[in-house]
Structure 1
Amino acid sequence: MKCPYCGNLEDKVVDSRESREGDVIRRRRECLKCERRFTSYERIDEIPYMVIKKDGRREPFDRQKVLAGLARACEKRPVPAAKLEAIVNAVEKYVQESRDRERSTQKIGELIMRRLKDLDKVAYVRFASVYLEFKDVTEFMSELKSLVKSTPTTSRRRRGTNGISA
């Protein structure tokens, strides 16, 4: 395994653990050159699960692509990486539960948006703005208004008389 810090190819496994489901093995490794530790995951290489894009194309499900999209939506937000990983795990499980080994990106996007809406409203709006492909500001504002209506008033920030958040 190549060290992500120094690129050395020699390491030792410090700890190995199976996931609860038994489908992934997590290994803590230590580079023999720089002595830094990193984590690797082993999965069984199977027939790829496919996603059906909006234009009808099919492509292999890419967990890293989902994680990258979530990371962009949550950039500079107080969202722990473990929460993003949990969303990606839920999406991956949803795709893997398909009898046909494929799911539409529309259903995947809806699942992600439901999870983000509960986790962080700003990240939800960021993700939705890309996923829903708003045609104009009116569509965007409509989504924002429905989000504000669905948010309990106790969770919203209160504005003082000077317009500054309290």
Structure 2
Amino acid sequence: MSKVGIIMGSKSDLGVAETAINILDEFEIPYEVIVSSAHRTPERTGEWSRNAQKNGFSVIIAIAGAAAHLAGVVASETNLPVIAVPVSATSLGGIDALLSMVQMPGGIPVATMAIGSAGAKNAAIFSAQILAVDNYDIQARLKSYRENMRDKVYSANEEVQNMLEARKQDAGS
């Protein structure tokens, strides 16, 4: 089975990465995590990226904050899909990272998700969708995941309706 590579620019990004890791675990998708910086360890980052496909990766999630060139550097060294997750690491609240990630030059695409944990969750789900193209087990897990989300919304609505009905009855007493 193909696996997902998660590369973080810093150990401080682990809290955000754990959201993606939890989703990948839920979908039973293997992954590996590495800390490597686009600026502080460019040789390591480049080598890891160039060898990613040979090492069994099919998708890469790049998590970084501040200048956040990590996803772009990774994408420039591989033909695998790269999904960027910006992290709030400066006083700009992650906007700096987001802009660094979405402003890639033509020809070096990077899919960019929301800032923080929501982005990490979506990056993992998007990775699952990419892998599901030719993996029926992951397709089934994705379908079940969506059904569970739908069921939670229906259940929440039912609870709200019951609370409102009880409130009306209490007001009428």
Structure having the higher helix fraction is 2
**Same fold, TM-score > 0.5, yes or no:** no
Could you tell me the TM-score, scaled by structure 2's length? 0.28
Q: TM-score, normalised on structure 1?
A: 0.29
Q: Which has the higher contact order (CA 8 A, sep 6+)?
A: 2
